[in-house]
Amino acid sequence: MVLSNTIMDAYGILTIIFPHFNTENFSYFITVIKNGEGGRVGKDMYPNYQMSLGGRSDEQTMLGINCMRVPAKRVIPVTLKIIEMFKKNKRSGDTLSSWISRIVEGNENSEIKSISEFKKTLTPLTVPPTMQEDKDFYSDYGSSTGYHTVTGKGECAA
State the Cα torsion 73-74-80-86 to the nearest 10°.
-150
Range in 13-17, 105-109, 151-155 with the lowest mean pLDDT: 13-17
Predicted confidence (pLDDT) per residue in 124-149, tens digit: 999 999 999 999 999 887 777 777 76
> What phi-psi label fits residue 64: left (phi over 0), alpha (psi between -120 and 50 degrees) or beta?
beta
Q: Could you give the number of structural domains in the chain?
A: 1
Predicted confidence (pLDDT) per residue in 53-104, tens digit: 877 777 777 777 888 888 988 988 988 898 899 889 999 988 888 888 889 8
Find the CATH number of the domain harbouring 93.
3.30.413
Per-residue model confidence (pLDDT) at position 128: 95
Containing domain of residue 48, as a range? 5-138
Sheet with 13-19, side-by-side order of all strands: 5-8, 13-19, 26-41, 44-53, 65-71
Query: At a CB cut-off of 8 Å and minimum separation 6, what does 74 contact?
Result: 125, 126
User: Is 156 within a domain?
Assistant: no
User: Is 32 within a domain?
Assistant: yes
Mean pLDDT of the chain: 75
- Under 8 Å between Cβ of 53 and 24: no
Q: Where are the beta strands (DSSP E) in the chain?
A: 5-8, 13-19, 26-41, 44-53, 65-71
- Under 8 Å between Cβ of 41 and 130: yes
Strands 13-19 and 5-8: antiparallel
- Residue 66: strand pairing partners: 52
User: Is 38 within a domain?
Assistant: yes
